[in-house]
Each structure stands twice: as structure tokens, then as C-alpha cells.
Chain A
Amino acid sequence: MISGGLDSMLAARTIQEQGIHVEGINFFTGFCVEGHTHAIREKDKAKPKRNNSLWVAEQLGIKLHIVDVIEEYKNVLLNPKHGYGQHMNPCLDCKIFMVNKAKQWIVENDFDFIITGEVIGQRPMSQRKATMPIVARESGADDLLLRPLCAKNLPATLPEREGWVDREKLHDITGRSRKPQMAMAKDFGIDEYSQPAGGCCFLTDKYYSAKLVDLWKARDSREYELDDVMLLKVGRHIRPQPHYKLIIAREEGEGRFLEGYKKDYISMKCVSHQGPLVLIDGTIAAEDLYLAASITARYGQGREAEQVEINVLYQDGAERCLQVKPMLEQDIPKAWFI
């Protein structure tokens, strides 16, 4: 299982060193940080937009199979048997789910066992000594699940017992220190790898999780679609009233991305001055339009003007123009910002 990070890269490499054919599998839940925001935001244009798991696979010289699990993942996120981590991250259930999918995949594709980059004690929720057997058992992978980086601290798995893999050449890393992995990377001649600061998943992000919970609360339902997940990654979100919120593009790249949603949402844009595109998520009443328009005006070049003109575009193409006074920054309550 290739996440795009260093640990799974080292795990795969350790097994390759034993002359074993390895192929990578990577799961896309919709919440993966992978390139998305970089691809959207103009200011990040200079940064490489590579997909880390593809890059890792290429470095290792292995094939990579990326599996779309967006739909199935909903149940993991909405009903995690083992609960959430610090934010909306159901890490243990997520691990179990992914290993289970990998198990199905190896059966269908005639592979012998699964390798992950897990390390005992590396993560507080999903990578503890106590959770290692839970993942193996509840995923149904049992002893076909080999963790080469910490295998020597765990009971021998089937590949080790059968001699497919030489247990002596596996590792015994524990704990949160990254030093053993860095040393191993050096030994393997791997000098470039990604070390995502906030993890690889938006669900571990405090602000993202808050926006997700806000969305569920506002809709009185925890149903979500991929577009919802994507839109939570983009723009400034302001909820002046429970039944609608504004998604305000922060720069050109985001504006272009939001343009793609104009047929699905009511949108607003200042026409008398330069200003960002704003989507309205929820059901906005006619009397709320002025408030939304004055907030929209606040984020455009006309913010100091006495009056600006805001165009309201409905999903069916109908349009309406409103003359509003831009709201002052100090008049927008902090609680409206999600």
C-alpha cells in the first residue's frame, strides 16, 4: 500500500530488496491532500503538482493501481466503529477498510500478501502496538499483512513463516522518531521524499473538519457528495445564517475552479468593481440576497465605495442586479467565519 510518504516507500523497497515482485496500490477517498489545493490555487502554481504516490512508484520502478473508494469510504467516515481521532479522522477504521480493500485486490489479481509502511507507535490512533492486530484481524487480511518496518516486533506472518520473505532482513522500528527511516532512506540512496506536514488527509485538519461538521449541521444530514468535499477545500466560507453560506474565491485560481459550479449553485459577482466569484451553498431567501451581496462586495475592490453593483446568477441562467453598500469588515461577526 503506497501512500506517497516515506514509510510505505521504504517498506516496499525492503521487500523488493529480497527479489520479490511488488506492485503498489493507493486509495483515493476524496479527502486526500494530494495536489488538489495546489492545482486550484494560483499562488501555488510554481510548486510541483506531482502526485506523490505515482512519483514514489516510479522511483521504486513498480506499477501503481489507484483505486477510487469515494463512495465506500462514506460509511467509514460516517460510522467509524473505533471512533474519530483528534478531528474528523477515523484513522483506525480507515486503515482497516483500506487493508480490507487491498486484501480483495490481491485475491482478484493473484498476489500473495500485503505490505504496509506501518510502524508501531508512529501514530497515536492507528499505529499502536494494540491496533496492529486489530487492523490485521478486522480487515480480514490476518497474517497476509506484513509490516516490513516493524515486523521483528510482531509475530511472524505467513510470508515469513513460509520463507517467502526472510524475516531476518526485516526491521524493528518503533516510536515516533523519524531517524531510523531517514537512515534507511540514505542506505537505499533515496534522497528525495515527501514529508507532508499536516499528514496526507484533510480529515486531520482542524479547519477542514470544522467546515465538514458545519455542513452536516446546516443540512441536518451527514450525506455528502464529492463536490461538497472539494468545495470545502476552496475559498473563504462565511455562514451569515444557518440555511446558507458563501464560498468566496480568495484568488484567481480558486475563482476559476468555482466557475465550474455556476450551474449548480447561485453565484454572485461584483460588476461595478473587480471582485471575487462567490457561490451560495444552501437555500437563500430573496430577503437574504442583500446581506449576501454586501458581504460579496466587502471582498472586492469596491469595498470602500458607497455603493456597488452585484450580479446574481441563478442556476438556470436567470440574472438579477443588486445595488448594495459593502459590509464593513468589523460588521462581519467572527462567528460567521467557518
Chain B
Amino acid sequence: MTREVLNARRLLCPLPVIRTQDKVKKMQPGDQLEVICTDPGVMQDIPTWCRINGHKVLELLSGDHEYTVILEVGDDKLNKLPIDLTM
């Protein structure tokens, strides 16, 4: 397990989400990423992004106009359903 830090200060949403997404792509399941931001929107957007993409938010921290999200990379294998034409 490795832990990395992503500086997303001064970026406005959705850029912190995009940078998180691109960073997570290069990480392994179980790795942790600490994303440090100044846009309060990340407190909502990164957890949403984690939920829909199968990653886990470990901690949300806010203080002095900085917002930090610590997440754990999930097993993000594509799991496509077969086409079902019976519906």
C-alpha cells in the first residue's frame, strides 16, 4: 500500500475531481490518496465521484480555507453487463 498526496489547491471543481481521477487511474487498489484543495465544492464532489466509481473516502478534513479528502482506491475493474434484449 502506498500513500500519495495530490495538491489541487487553487483549482475549481471539477478540476480537483479530474486530477483525482487521473491520479487514481495510476494507483493500485488499496493505495491511499490525500487530495488537498481550496474549493469547498470538493467536499461534495470527490465523495460523489468515489461512490460512483467504487472508491472509499477515509476522511474529510476542513480548516482555514483548505479542504482535504483522503481516499482509498477501490477495485475499479469494468464490470459491464451483457446486453439484455428481453426487457
Interface residues of A (CB under 8 A from B): 17-21, 26, 28, 32, 34-36, 38-40, 45, 48-51, 53-55, 57-58, 61-68, 109-110, 163-164, 166, 230, 256, 260
Docked CA distance A19–B87 (Å): 7
B29-87 residues at the A interface, CB under 8 angstroms: 38-41, 44-45, 48-49, 51-53, 65, 78, 80-87
* Interchain CB contact under 8 A, A49 and B81: no
* Interchain CB contact under 8 A, B12 and A39: yes
B10, B14, B41, B65: most-surrounded residue (chain A CB, <10 A): B14
Q: How many A-B residue pairs have CB under 8 A?
A: 95
The interface residues of chain B, by DSSP majority, are classed as: loop
Task: Select which of B14, B81, B85 is within 8 A of A34 by beta carbon.
Answer: B14
In the complex formed, the residue of B with least CB distance to A40 is B12
4 smallest CB-CB distances across A and B, nearest first, come from A19-B84, A49-B41, A21-B81, A19-B87
Q: Separation in Å of the B75 CB from the closest CB of chain A?
A: 13
Apart from A39-B12, A50-B41, what 16 extra A-B contacts exist at CB < 8 Å?
A18-B84, A20-B83, A21-B81, A28-B18, A34-B13, A36-B13, A49-B41, A51-B17, A54-B52, A57-B52, A63-B52, A66-B17, A68-B18, A164-B85, A256-B65, A260-B38
Q: Separation in Å of the B20 CB from the closest CB of chain A?
A: 10
With a cutoff of 8 Å between Cβ atoms, the chain B residues found around residue A35 in the complex are 12-14, 41, 45
Task: Select which of A49, A61, A230 is within 8 A of B44 by beta carbon.
Answer: A49
Task: Select which of B9, B14, B51, B65 is within 8 A of A51 by beta carbon.
Answer: B14
* Interchain CB contact under 8 A, B12 and A54: no
With a cutoff of 8 Å between Cβ atoms, the chain A residues found around residue B82 in the complex are 21
Q: Is B15 an interface residue (CB 8 A)?
A: yes
Q: Is B21 an interface residue (CB 8 A)?
A: yes
Number of B interface residues in the complex (CB < 8 A):
31
* Interchain CB contact under 8 A, B18 and A54: no
Q: Separation in Å of the B8 CB from the closest CB of chain A?
A: 13
With a cutoff of 8 Å between Cβ atoms, the chain A residues found around residue B44 in the complex are 48-51
Task: Select which of A18, A53, A110 is within 8 A of B87 by beta carbon.
Answer: A18
Docked CA distance A51–B15 (Å): 11
Q: Separation in Å of the A161 CB from the closest CB of chain B?
A: 14
Task: Select which of A21, A39, A61, A163 is within 8 A of B41 by beta carbon.
Answer: A39
In the complex formed, the residue of B with least CB distance to A45 is B40
In the complex formed, the residue of A with least CB distance to B22 is A68
In the complex formed, the residue of A with least CB distance to B17 is A66
Using known A-B contacts A36-B12, A66-B17, determine if residue A21 contacts B51 with beta carbons closer than 8 Å: no
With a cutoff of 8 Å between Cβ atoms, the chain A residues found around residue B45 in the complex are 35, 49-51, 54
Task: Select which of A34, A58, A164 is within 8 A of B83 by beta carbon.
Answer: A164
With a cutoff of 8 Å between Cβ atoms, the chain B residues found around residue A45 in the complex are 40
* Interchain CB contact under 8 A, A51 and B48: yes
Docked CA distance A68–B86 (Å): 37
Docked CA distance A51–B39 (Å): 12
* Interchain CB contact under 8 A, A65 and B12: no
* Interchain CB contact under 8 A, A166 and B48: no
Docked CA distance A65–B22 (Å): 10
Docked CA distance A260–B7 (Å): 14
Docked CA distance A32–B17 (Å): 14
* Interchain CB contact under 8 A, B40 and A21: no
Docked CA distance A230–B65 (Å): 19
In the complex formed, the residue of A with least CB distance to B9 is A260
* Interchain CB contact under 8 A, A260 and B84: no
Docked CA distance A303–B37 (Å): 35
With a cutoff of 8 Å between Cβ atoms, the chain B residues found around residue A32 in the complex are 14
* Interchain CB contact under 8 A, A28 and B14: yes
